[in-house]
């Protein structure tokens, strides 16, 4: 059995690096949305609720696409879906330069670009990692997921800087050209779906080499309907907390942290530092979570992570009502930095144990489709989490209500995660005559 290596590196690490780059660039652009809220409010003379509606549409399209993306990845392969999704995002980002009203943003960004965001997501990346890694799978998933946090670290502050210096229009051109001319060609040329396409075995595993690998086909694994899945406790108790994950991360914090900082009178420089700190600690927390998910009980990890996230949101309430905390006086700027560090540690850290549990609970099913349904719940949560705070802000002039309901939801998610069943002795789905719909 031959194993292709570059130096001492298995080609699986190249796949991981490319998946990381794809998520960094695609999801980094998506997570930069908050940086454009105020410029778009001024440019189109509209309210924060209207701009938040763009985010709502985006997350719904993104979320609804996930089960279909899972099936497309199974059918056409990671390479095609990942690379052309990045190209679609790049072209759509360039097209926003020509937008003259919010409804055009809703079509260009909310619909077209968001289909690309759905394709260049953790679903495709997770399938690639599952195909290429047998050993160190949790660690690899953590590293891959950190690509989104890397985009948050690099592209969000960069977008803030470029908007401040050049304006939002030139910024979208720069981001779009980066995706179209640099990232897309790299993915299309070097990315591969299966080790068999390189005539190698996955890292840490042995598989037979397919001499002439054909177009990837849908998995022959046992298939069931979504209604059957919802009757399984392990699926439902992964689905609902992952929905809450979307509400509180991509929805609330990633979309509204910068506007909230501006609401508190914090300077753009400090806000940019806070976003960078959040992203930097997010990368560390995500990778560390992946490492731990190979060694500890993932359901207990999830309960701890959701509970810890609830505690970090309390800091934002303190910022609104009382800046005297921890026994000494802290102004809003310092509290924001403390929040960024603590929330970053638990931001994307839930992804690796969630995916690890899903691949273990449902190993008899199509990985792409199962992850697609999970990410659908996450993105629907993100949609509500992005829209409701903007709407509530227009009604009340504050983010208090959004923070309170987020804390309640996170406590509930921690409880559901703790009640997940153990991996051993799970009932298996016996009906093989149904397809996932």
Q: What is the pLDDT of residue 26?
A: 94
Say yes or no to pLDDT of 8 above 70.
Answer: no
At residue 244 the predicted structure's pLDDT band, cuts being 50, 70 and 90, is very high
How many C-alpha atoms does 255 have within 13 Å on its Cβ side? 30
**Short-list 88, 85, 89, 110, CA closest to 99:** 110
As to burial, measured by CB atoms within 10 angstroms (0-12 exposed, 13-18 middle, 19+ buried), residue 161 is middle
Q: What is the mean predicted confidence (pLDDT) over 209-215?
A: 40
- Taking residues 15-27, what's their average pLDDT? 93
| Prediction pTM value | 0.72
CA 74 to chain centre: 20
Average pLDDT for 253-279: 85
In a domain, 433, yes or no: no
State the Cα–Cα distance between residues 321 and 120, nearest whole angstrom.
Answer: 40
On average, the pLDDT of the chain sits at 83
Tell me the mean pLDDT in the region 360-368: 75
pLDDT of 280 above 70: yes
Give the rounded percent of residues in the chain with a pLDDT score beyond 90. Answer: 35
Q: Is residue 82 part of a domain?
A: yes
Supply the pLDDT for residue 82.
94
DSSP 333-350: HHHHHHHHHHHHHHSGGG
pLDDT at residue 322 in the model: 63
Q: What is the pLDDT of residue 426?
A: 54
Domain of 413, in residue numbers: 5-418
Domain of 292, CATH number, reads: 1.20.1250.20
**Per the domain annotation, does 143 fall within a domain?**
yes
C-alpha–C-alpha distance, residues 304 and 431, integer Å: 35
Q: Is residue 215 part of a domain?
A: yes
Sign of CA dihedral 306, 49, 24, 239: positive
pLDDT band at 50 (very low <50, low <70, confident <90, very high): confident
DSSP secondary structure letters along 11-37: HHHHHHHHHHHHHHHHHHHHHTHHHHH
Residue 3, pLDDT score: 45
286 within a domain of the structure (yes/no): yes
Q: Is the pLDDT of residue 352 over 70?
A: yes
Give the pLDDT of residue 180: 96
> Which residue is associated with the tokens 């960024």?
340
Would you say residue 21 has pLDDT above 80?
A: yes
CB 44 within 8 A of CB 101: yes
CB 283 within 8 A of CB 139: no
431 belongs to a structural domain = no
The domain total for the chain is 1
User: Is the CB of residue 241 less than 8 Å from the CB of residue 302?
Assistant: yes
Q: What is the mean pLDDT of residues 212-224?
A: 46
Backbone angles phi, psi at 9, to 5 degrees: -105, 130
Q: Does 423 reside within a domain?
A: no
| More confidently predicted of 9 and 394 | 394
- Looking at residue 269, its pLDDT comes to 82
For residue 277 the two structure tokens come to 């700190």
Are residues 34 and 86 in contact, defined by beta-carbon separation less than 8 angstroms? no
In a domain, residue 307? The reply is yes
């Amino acid at each position: 059995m031959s194993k292709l290596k570059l130096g001492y590196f298995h080609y699986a690490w190249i796949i991981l690096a490319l998946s990381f780059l794809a998520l960094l660039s695609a999801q980094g652009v998506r997570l930069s949305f908050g940086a454009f809220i105020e410029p778009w409010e001024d440019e189109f003379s509209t309210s924060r609720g209207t701009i938040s509606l763009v985010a709502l549409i985006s997350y719904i399209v993104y979320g609804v696409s996930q089960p279909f993306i899972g099936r497309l990845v199974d059918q056409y392969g990671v390479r095609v879906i990942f690379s052309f999704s990045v190209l679609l995002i790049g072209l759509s980002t360039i097209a926003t330069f020509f937008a003259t009203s919010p409804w055009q943003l809703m079509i260009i960004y909310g619909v077209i670009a968001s289909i690309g965001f759905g394709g260049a997501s953790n679903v495709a990346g997770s399938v690639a990692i599952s195909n290429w890694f047998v050993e160190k799978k949790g660690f690899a998933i953590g590293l891959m997921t950190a690509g989104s946090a890397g985009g948050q670290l690099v592209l969000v502050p960069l977008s803030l800087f470029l908007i401040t210096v050049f304006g939002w229009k030139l910024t979208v051109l720069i981001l779009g050209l980066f995706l179209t001319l640099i990232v897309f060609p790299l993915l299309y040329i070097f990315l591969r779906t299966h080790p068999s396409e390189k005539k190698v075995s996955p890292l840490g595993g042995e598989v037979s080499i397919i001499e002439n690998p054909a177009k990837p086909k849908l998995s022959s694994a046992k298939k069931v309907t979504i209604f059957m899945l919802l009757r399984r406790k392990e699926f439902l108790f992964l689905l609902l907390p992952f929905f809450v994950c979307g509400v509180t991360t991509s929805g609330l914090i990633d979309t509204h942290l910068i506007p909230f900082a501006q609401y508190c009178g914090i300077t753009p420089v400090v806000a940019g530092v806070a976003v960078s700190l959040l992203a930097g600690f997010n990368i560390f927390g995500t990778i560390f979570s992946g490492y731990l998910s190979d060694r500890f009980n993932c359901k207990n990890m999830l309960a701890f992570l959701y509970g810890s996230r609830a505690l970090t949101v309390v800091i934002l309430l303190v910022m609104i009502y009382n800046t005297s905390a921890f026994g000494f006086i802290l102004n809003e700027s310092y509290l924001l930095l403390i929040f960024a560090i603590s929330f970053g540690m638990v931001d994307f850290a839930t992804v690796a144990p969630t995916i690890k549990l899903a691949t273990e609970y449902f190993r008899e099913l199509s990985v792409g489709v199962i992850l697609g349904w999970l990410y659908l719940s996450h993105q629907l949560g993100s949609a509500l989490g992005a829209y409701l705070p903007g709407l509530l802000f227009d009604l009340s002039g504050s983010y208090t209500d959004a923070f309170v309901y987020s804390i309640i939801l996170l406590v509930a998610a921690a409880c559901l995660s703790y009640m997940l069943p153990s991996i051993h002795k799970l009932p298996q789905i016996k009906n093989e005559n149904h397809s996932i719909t």
